[in-house]
Amino acid sequence: MASLADLPALTRLPHPAPTPADLREATIADPGFGRVFTDHMVVIDWSEDAGWHNATLGPRGPIALDPAAAVLHYAQEIFEGLKAYRLADGSMALFRPDQNARRFNASAQRLAMPQIPEELFVDAVRQLVLQDADWFPQVDGGSLYIRPFMFATEAFLGVRPAKAYKFVVILSPAGNYFKSGAPAVSVWVSEYTRAAPGGTGAAKCGGNYAASLVPTGEAFAKGHDQVVFLDAEERRWIEELGGMNLFFVFDDGSLITPPLSGTILPGITRDSLLTLAREEGLAVREERYSIDQWRDDAASGRLVESFACGTAAVVTPVGHVAGRNHDFTIGSGGPGQLTGKLKARLVDIQRGAVADRHGWVMRLG
């Protein structure tokens, strides 16, 4: 692995007009999700000739792009999502940022983009969070949501991998993900599919999200909170939500989550919960589970809980499932016991309330 000494150092650019403290406090009092941003950003350029260069931590602002920039035409873009948490002792920490760096590079590979050294990715995140630490929201469940992303900047309309990219990191103070703060969400089983075998389903790329907006809009219009995607081949196997992985909990205390077959996103929350559940002695299977089985098991009572998981919304119970051929309630329709227990185990580690036996928590500062 490259040591930090071999990587471009972040040049700090002064901010001409940082947000005044009173305005900042007012802005982060009720931040919601994804609509408030801090004062700074990291930008690092890559070109075929120079590799990674021009690394800056400076004022957040618009990015000038040539109208022929490849990302605007062929969507060569990938991103990550992680959070800085406040620990019990008041310091801040990241949760498994190395995993985000690794997944970012896996996405980059699938989208024919350059690899970024994991140390550079994590250091950029770390330094930006420390720079804008004053933006950490005090609200219950608050965090600094971190959005690293990379896109093709080369001005060229021919179809081939671009020869120039920007890696950028921005921060967004965040409260709870779901506006309603609902104890359990209702999901809509879409007729659209998200990912096909051999496609980009396992990559965290903007293109996947672009294709999920119509089905997500349909779910919202029908009064649901999220969309569930089935597999593209048989339209039968449950894959995941638009941006979260799914778990199913049975009356014998066992769990199922769909396997990483290449068409679902390998969630870090998913992986962490698998580890925690196995440590609890629970039987966990990474196994295909069909929509009809979901309905039948919910009806028979064999299935007692279902939940979605991801960094943004952490662990979210699924209470109701509807679709063109489906309409059923899971358990009592509210949050389940095991869901709550696993969520508490994870959140306690993320917030430093219990010992971190896995080396998942990276303290900052």
State the residues that interact with ligand PLP by CB under 6 A. 81, 204, 240, 243-245, 265, 267-270, 310-311
CB atoms within 10 A of CB 82: 25
Least Å from the CB of residue 71 to ligand PLP: 18
Closer Cβ to ligand PLP, 15 or 351, answer by number: 351
Paired tokens of 87: 């620990």
Task: Report which residue type is found at 249.
Answer: V
**237 vs 50: CA distance, rounded Å:** 45
Decide if 315 contacts 339 (C-beta within 8 A). yes
Q: Three-state DSSP class for 259?
A: coil
Closer Cβ to ligand PLP, 258 or 319, answer by number: 258
Least Å from the CB of residue 270 to ligand PLP: 6
Least Å from the CB of residue 116 to ligand PLP: 17
Of the candidates 54, 84, 265, 62, the residue with the CA atom closest to the CA atom of residue 167: 54
Closer Cβ to ligand PLP, 10 or 227, answer by number: 227
CA trace torsion 118, 121, 123, 128 (10° rounding): -170
CA trace torsion 357, 146, 101, 131 (10° rounding): -90
Task: Report which residue type is found at 230.
Answer: L
Decide if 69 contacts 152 (C-beta within 8 A). yes
Q: Three-state DSSP class for 102?
A: helix
Least Å from the CB of residue 139 to ligand PLP: 20
Closer Cβ to ligand PLP, 184 or 205, answer by number: 205
Closer Cβ to ligand PLP, 103 or 320, answer by number: 103
**70 vs 84: CA distance, rounded Å:** 32
Closer Cβ to ligand PLP, 24 or 103, answer by number: 103
Closer Cβ to ligand PLP, 44 or 264, answer by number: 264
Closer Cβ to ligand PLP, 264 or 291, answer by number: 264
Of the candidates 27, 41, 96, the residue with the CA atom closest to the CA atom of residue 356: 96
Paired tokens of 44: 């690092």
Closer Cβ to ligand PLP, 81 or 148, answer by number: 81
Of the candidates 294, 319, 310, the residue with the CA atom closest to the CA atom of residue 346: 310
Q: Three-state DSSP class for 78?
A: strand
Decide if 255 contacts 282 (C-beta within 8 A). yes
Least Å from the CB of residue 55 to ligand PLP: 25
Paired tokens of 193: 């599919």
Of the candidates 108, 89, 96, the residue with the CA atom closest to the CA atom of residue 353: 89
Closer Cβ to ligand PLP, 174 or 244, answer by number: 244
Least Å from the CB of residue 185 to ligand PLP: 15
Least Å from the CB of residue 262 to ligand PLP: 13
Least Å from the CB of residue 343 to ligand PLP: 13
Residue 60 vs residues 37, 63, 116, 143: alpha-carbon distances, Å: 9, 9, 21, 19
Least Å from the CB of residue 201 to ligand PLP: 8
Least Å from the CB of residue 133 to ligand PLP: 22
Q: Three-state DSSP class for 115?
A: coil
